[in-house]
Amino acid sequence: MLVFGHAGITLGAITLLNGLVTSTIRKRENAYSEIEPDNNTPGIPVSHGLSSWFTRLGHHWDLRILLVGSLLPDIIDKPLGQVLFRESLSSGRIFFHTLLFTSLVALGGLFLRYRTSRTWLLVLSAGTFAHLILDGMWRQELLTTLLWPFYGIEFPRAELTDWTENIWYDLLHNPAVFIPEIIGGVVIILFLWVLVRNGRLINFIRRGHLSNS
Ligand SMILES: [Zn+2]
């Protein structure tokens, strides 16, 4: 999976999950208090439909960090394993594609959240965890990397000859590659449309949140 697949599908999946969880909590709260459903919860901007779901997530999470996290394993491992240490490693999935790395980031995020109430590292770990899922790291040929160093200190080597050409070929001919990119691209376009339509693009770029405050 490439850039749009990872970034867009992660954003879409976590938006859906967050929207479902938030809706369920609100329904329960309204049922308990026997008050009419109210979208004017203090501090949460009023919005509807697709905007509402993106906004609920963007109010709590820095979505810029989530997007960076969704790409981080490839941003680090590909240059390291395919360019700088190509001879010795020969793989685009090394340290940052391991469960060990993601767990350490998540633990660091929990610690930071507990000590300072800052959530950025936790959000980053959610993005990197989503990356491992979308890469299908549980597959037999990738399991050794996912569980590194359980099966040994060396990472499996990959065939990198004509790697760039193969990516372009797969993008044009392989549905397993181009369909996720199309889905992710559509989510990114919808997200940008929500930002522009609500006049929140600049605020999002500056702060990572979707609210105007
Ligand atoms: Zn990857």
Q: Does pTM surpass 0.75?
A: yes
Does residue 187 carry a pLDDT above 70? yes
Say how many Å lie between the CA of residue 178 and the centre of ligand 1.
Answer: 16
Question: How far, in Å, from the CA of 115 to the mean position of ligand 1?
Answer: 31
- In this prediction, residue 52 carries a pLDDT of 67
135 Cα to the center of ligand 1, angstroms: 6
pLDDT digits (tens, 9 = 90+) for 64-77: 999 999 999 999 99
pLDDT at 47 over 60: no
Distance of CA 51 from the midpoint of ligand 1 (Å): 29
**Sequence letter at residue 45:** P
Q: For residue 106, which of 82, 74, 132 has the smallest C-alpha distance? A: 132
Element (H, E) at 35: none
User: What does DSSP assign to residue 155?
Assistant: P
Q: From residue 98, how far is each of 28, 91, 129, 132 by CA, in Å?
A: 38, 13, 10, 8
CA of residue 70 to ligand 1 center, whole Å: 9
- Which value, in Å, is the radius of gyration of the alpha carbons in the chain? 20
Q: How far apart are CA 72 and CA 124, in angstroms?
A: 9
Q: In the numeric block, which tokens belong to residue 37?
A: 């459903």
**Residues 59/106, Cβ–Cβ less than 8 Å:** no
Tell me the mean pLDDT in the region 102-109.
96
Burial of 144 per CB tally in 10 Å (0-12, 13-18, 19+): middle
Q: CB count, 10 Å around CB of 16?
A: 12
- % of the chain exceeding 90 in pLDDT: 51
